[in-house]
Amino acid sequence: MDNRIRDLVIVGGGTAGWMTAAALADHFRGSGLAITLIESSAIGTIGVGEATIPTIRRFYQALGLRDLDVLKATHGTVKLGIRFDGWTGDGAGFLHPFGVYGQDLRGIPFHQYWLRLNKAGHATDLGDYSLAVALAQAGRFTLPSPNPPSTLSVFDWALHFDAGLFAQMMRQVAEQRGVRRIDARIEKVERRGEDGHITHLLLDDGRHIAGDLFVDCSGFQGLLIEGAMQAGYEDWSQWLLCDRALAAQGHALTPPPPFTRVTAQKAGWRWTIPLQHRTGHGYVYSSRHISDADAEAELLGAIGPDLKMAPRRIAFTPGRRSQAWKGNCVAIGLSSGFLEPLESTSIALIETGIEKLKQLFPRQGIDPYLVDEFNDWSRREMERVRDFIILHYWLNQRGEDFWRDCRAIDLPDTLRHKVELFRRRGHLVRYRWEMFQPASWLAIFAGFGFLPEESDPALEGADIAGLRRGLDGMRQAVAQAVADCPTHQEFIDHYARVEMPGGRQ
Ligand SMILES: Cc1cc2nc3c(=O)[nH]c(=O)nc-3n(C[C@H](O)[C@H](O)[C@H](O)COP(=O)(O)OP(=O)(O)OC[C@H]3O[C@@H](n4cnc5c(N)ncnc54)[C@H](O)[C@@H]3O)c2cc1C
Tell me, in angstroms, the distance from the centre of ligand 1 to residue 164's CA: 10
Q: Among residues 79, 326, 356, 418, which one is catalytic?
A: 79
In this structure, which residue's CA is closest to atom 16 in ligand 1? 49
Contact 340, 283 (CB under 8 A): no
Q: Is the CB of 132 under 6 A from ligand 1?
A: no
- Give dist(CA 469, CA 464) in Å, integer: 9
Alpha carbon distance, N-terminus to C-terminus of the chain: 60
d(Cα 373, Cα 188) in Å, to the nearest integer?
A: 29
Atom index in ligand 1 nearest the CA of residue 18 equals 25
CB 18 within 8 Å of CB 37: yes
Q: Could you tell me how many residues make up the chain? A: 505
Pocket flag, ligand 1, residue 36 (CB < 6 Å)? no
Told to judge if 356 belongs to the known catalytic residues of this protein, a careful annotator would answer no
Query: Residue 90 and residue 77: Cα distance in Å, rounded?
Result: 27
For residue 44, the ligand 1 atom closest to its alpha carbon is 47
Distance from residue 346's CA to the centre of ligand 1 (Å)? 9
Q: Which helix (H) or strand (E) holds 384?
A: helix 368-394
How high is the pLDDT of residue 153? 81
Pocket test for ligand 1, best of 220, 262, 334 (most atoms within 8 A of CB): 334
What is the spatial distance between Cα 318 and Cα 238, in angstroms, rounded to a whole number? 9
Largest Cα–Cα separation, the chain: 79
pLDDT for the residue 109: 96
Calculate ∠ Cα 354-359-364, nearest 5°. 110
Q: Tell how far the Cα of 436 is from the centroid of ligand 1, in angstroms.
A: 23
Distance 305 CA to ligand 1 centre (A): 29
State the Cα–Cα distance between residues 311 and 307, nearest whole angstrom.
Answer: 9
Q: What is the pLDDT of residue 505?
A: 47
Distance CA 73, CA 67 (A): 10
List per-block mean pLDDT (blocks of 10 residues) for the chain, which spans 505 residues.
92 98 97 97 94 98 98 98 96 95 94 96 96 97 86 89 97 98 98 96 97 98 98 98 98 97 98 97 98 98 95 98 98 98 98 98 96 98 98 98 98 97 95 93 97 93 96 95 94 92 54
Q: Is the CB of 49 inside a 6 Å radius of any atom of ligand 1? A: yes
Q: Residue 225: which residues within 8 A CB-CB, separation 6 or more?
A: 216, 231, 321, 323, 324, 326, 329, 330, 331, 335, 336
122 C-alpha vs ligand 1 centroid, how far in Å?
A: 48
Give the HSE-up count for residue 355: Cα atoms under 13 Å, Cβ half-sphere: 16
Give yes or no for a cis peptide into 274 (omega within 30° of 0): no
Q: 3-state secondary structure string, 135-150?
A: HHHHCECCCCCCCCCC
- DSSP 8-state assignment for residue 251: P
For 418, other C-beta atoms within 10 Å of its C-beta total 23
| Helix (H), strand (E) at residue 274 | strand 268-274
Interior angle at CA 264, CA 14 and CA 304, nearest 5: 75
Could you give the domains of the chain? 7-75+161-235+318-382 (3.50.50.60), 82-155+384-488 (no CATH), 244-315 (3.30.70)
Please tell me if the CB atom of residue 48 comes closer than 6 angstroms to any atom of ligand 1: yes
